[in-house]
């Protein structure tokens, strides 16, 4: 295979209003009274003012609000705004549980002003709208709750991995929405107690751009990964309740403890439960909600219904969650080929999956793997893919279709990218045969989907 490539980040660019010309009047700070329309993809609702579209955060459909413009000028194609006063509130509006979840403050959450049940309804609306607009399909989807043991469904304390920004004074926090401004934090209510208990919040760092905390499910101390500002040497305070490592262009450097976290997953298959342990190096990719590995693993197995002796392909395989589950299902007479672009994740997968001789691991870009002659000559019955937020794209979809699997399970954290790729798959004779959505990111606009495609 080719030189291993770093896995693309799970992020997506933001759209800005079209420029309005050099003499346009800046409208930021202008307050508008608006009737709020439907929810839109991205954590805001759509309103109109004198014929112009206004994307409004901190509002709910049907409300009447006073909104303050945060981006836009006279002549711009649309404006962005924050609802700063509610004149007529929706019945599902609540007081945000976090004191900095409001206009001009932390941008980490989008829907803290709505009940968890209403948040799921809003997300279902967005998923349906994206499929209708981008795939030309009418889908009826319910966003399923992802319950936490001992929790009361309030949508808090679920995030096991949080990346904090560091301001010029060395304080950790999160950035304001669509801004480089850092809002310092003493707590993050959506992060787990283990993440908050790492000691990162309230500590002072020097020459540091970001601090990422990862708390594994094996009960060990969380891992803190510090990234210095370019060309500097990081000053890291003592964090006795965490392992600490520094990430530089040369790699990950241990300061104290270990440079990885351990994850344990129990998945029910029929009447049996299967347990797996995984090693995740650094702050590498792993689902951030504690219930996500089980829910997504069971959803993928249900979608693919793998049989003993079948041959499966796991694309963007990470440290091997779906690889392990598929290996159990296809058994010793089957095979699972896993392809992952991040070399460290492949090394971790090799450690975690060494007892599965039917598993083969490839380190390299998925796009290149799908054009490899060796893969083209193999039998492929099943494909699962869990691409970055930008989705798989046409080239990957074309490569999957060329293998002619009987079923494809597509795990997606962005419904727009999934809907676009659904249209690509339909062009190859694959139809959407099932769609599930999970609320794995409460208080935010994000939603995780698992789609099943068959020929």
Catalytic residues: 413
How far apart CA 162 and CA 142 sit, in angstroms, is 27
386 labeled binding residue: yes
Helices (H), ranges, 116-197:
116-130, 193-196
**What is the DSSP-derived secondary structure letter of residue 13?**
-
**Cβ pair 350, 277 in contact under 8 A:** no
**Cβ pair 69, 80 in contact under 8 A:** yes
Locate tokens 């792993």: which residue? Answer: 286
287 labeled binding residue: yes
3-state secondary structure of 384: strand
Query: Shortest CA distance to 454 belongs to which of 433, 426, 423?
Result: 433
Q: What is the DSSP string of 276-342?
A: EEEEEETT----SSTTHHHHHHHHHHHHH---TT-EEEEES-TTTHHHHHHHHHH-TTSEEEEEES-
- E-assigned strands of 36-171? 39-40, 44-49, 52-57, 64-71, 78-88, 143-145, 161-166
Query: Shortest CA distance to 366 belongs to which of 404, 335, 328, 393?
Result: 393
Helices (H), ranges, 378-414:
394-403
CB-based contacts of 191-195 (< 8 A; 24+ apart in sequence):
191/157, 191/159, 191/160, 191/162, 192/157, 192/158, 192/159, 192/160, 192/290, 193/157, 194/160, 194/222, 195/159, 195/160, 195/161, 195/162, 195/222
Count of C-beta atoms within a 10 Å radius of residue 347: 16
**Cβ pair 205, 213 in contact under 8 A:** no
How far apart CA 127 and CA 88 sit, in angstroms, is 27
Query: Shortest CA distance to 259 belongs to which of 236, 211, 225?
Result: 225
How far apart CA 365 and CA 137 sit, in angstroms, is 30
**Cβ pair 31, 49 in contact under 8 A:** no
**93-104 burial by CB neighbour count: b if 16+ within 10 A, else e?**
beebebebbbbb
How far apart CA 280 and CA 424 sit, in angstroms, is 32
User: Where is the binding site for S-adenosyl-L-methionine, in residues?
Assistant: 287, 316, 340, 386
Residue list for the binding site = 287, 316, 340, 386
């Amino acid at each position: 295979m080719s030189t291993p490539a770093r896995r693309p980040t799970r992020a997506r660019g933001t759209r800005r209003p079209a420029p309005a010309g050099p003499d346009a009047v800046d409208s930021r700070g202008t307050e508008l009274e608006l009737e709020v329309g439907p929810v839109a993809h991205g954590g805001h609702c759509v309103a109109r003012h004198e014929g112009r579209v206004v994307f409004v955060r901190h509002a709910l459909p049907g409300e009447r609000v006073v909104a303050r413009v945060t981006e836009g000028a006279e002549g711009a194609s649309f404006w962005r705004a924050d609802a700063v006063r509610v004149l007529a509130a929706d019945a599902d509006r609540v007081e945000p549980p976090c004191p900095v979840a409001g206009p001009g403050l932390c941008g980490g959450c989008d829907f803290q002003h709505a009940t968890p049940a209403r948040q799921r309804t809003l997300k279902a609306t967005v998923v349906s709208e994206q499929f209708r607009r981008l795939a030309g399909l009418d889908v009826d989807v319910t966003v399923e709750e992802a319950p936490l043991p001992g929790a009361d469904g309030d949508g808090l304390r679920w995030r096991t991995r949080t990346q904090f920004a560091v301001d010029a004074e060395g304080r950790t926090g999160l950035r304001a929405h669509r801004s480089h401004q850092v809002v310092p934090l003493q707590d993050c209510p959506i992060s787990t107690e283990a993440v908050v208990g790492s000691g990162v919040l309230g500590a002072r760092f020097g020459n540091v751009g970001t601090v990422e905390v990862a708390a594994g499910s094996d009960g060990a101390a969380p891992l803190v990964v510090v990234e210095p500002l370019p060309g500097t040497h990081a000053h890291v305070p003592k964090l006795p309740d965490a392992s600490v490592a520094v990430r530089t262009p040369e790699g990950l450097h241990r300061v104290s403890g270990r440079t990885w976290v351990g994850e344990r997953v129990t998945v029910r298959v029929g009447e049996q439960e299967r347990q797996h342990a995984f090693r995740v190096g650094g702050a590498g990719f792993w689902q951030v909600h504690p219930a996500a590995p089980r829910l997504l693993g069971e959803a993928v197995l249900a979608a693919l219904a793998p049989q003993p002796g079948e041959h499966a392909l796991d694309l963007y395989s990470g440290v091997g969650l779906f690889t392990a589950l598929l290996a159990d299902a296809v058994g010793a007479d089957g095979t699972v080929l896993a392809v992952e672009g991040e070399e460290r994740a492949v090394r971790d997968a090799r450690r975690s999956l060494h007892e599965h001789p039917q598993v083969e691991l490839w380190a390299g870009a998925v796009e290149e793997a799908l054009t490899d002659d060796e893969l083209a000559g193999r039998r492929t019955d099943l494909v699962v893919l869990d691409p970055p937020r930008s989705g798989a794209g046409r080239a990957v979809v074309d490569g999957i279709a060329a293998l002619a699997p009987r079923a494809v399970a597509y795990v997606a954290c962005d419904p727009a990218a999934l809907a676009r790729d659904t249209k690509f798959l339909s062009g190859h004779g694959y139809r959407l045969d099932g769609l599930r959505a999970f609320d794995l990111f409460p208080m935010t606009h994000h939603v995780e989907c698992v789609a099943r495609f068959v020929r």
